[in-house]
């Protein structure tokens, strides 16, 4: 069975930070359950080309580089930092879903 593309994007986005990637997983799964992203949303993301997915991963990496550094350098509890990281990640995922959905609607309307 193929891995959920959202989890795949998360893992690719934070592959340079394996500790963060691992420790953030519970927050990721919790947010996935909370948002109730359905099969249709996942299917929309799966229509994106590999090149565009790579661009999304790079954008997520860049936007979260400072936060990842803060998490790595912090000796304090990191709960809030991980929540912030997951929120930031899902903002990009939601923007991606909205973009693909709007492109499909635009094409259907002849735009």
CB 35 within 8 A of CB 91: no
55-111 pLDDT, tens digit each = 999 999 999 999 999 999 988 889 999 999 999 999 999 999 999 999 888 888 875
Angle between helices 39-46 and 5-13 (to 10 degrees): 60
Q: Domains in the chain: how many in total? A: 1
Instruction: Name the pTM for this structure.
Output: 0.90
Average pLDDT over residues 3-16: 94
- As given in the structure block, the two tokens for residue 4 are 């959920």
Owner of token pair 């990496």: 61
CB 41 within 8 A of CB 97: yes
Q: Which domain holds residue 45?
A: 5-108
Q: How crowded is the C-beta side of 25, counted as CA atoms within 13 Å?
A: 10
Nearest Cα to Cα of residue 96 among 22, 30, 13, 2: 13
């Amino acid at each position: 069975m193929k891995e959920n593309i959202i989890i795949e994007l998360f893992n690719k986005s934070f592959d340079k930070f394996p500790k963060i990637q691992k420790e953030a997983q519970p927050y990721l799964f919790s947010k996935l359950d909370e948002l109730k992203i359905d099969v249709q949303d996942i299917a929309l993301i799966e229509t994106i080309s590999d090149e565009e997915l790579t661009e999304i991963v790079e954008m997520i990496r860049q936007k979260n580089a400072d936060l990842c550094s803060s998490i790595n350098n912090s000796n304090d509890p990191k709960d809030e930092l991980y929540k912030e990281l997951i929120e930031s990640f899902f903002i990009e995922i939601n923007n991606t879903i909205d973009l693909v959905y709007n492109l499909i609607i635009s094409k259907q309307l002849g735009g």
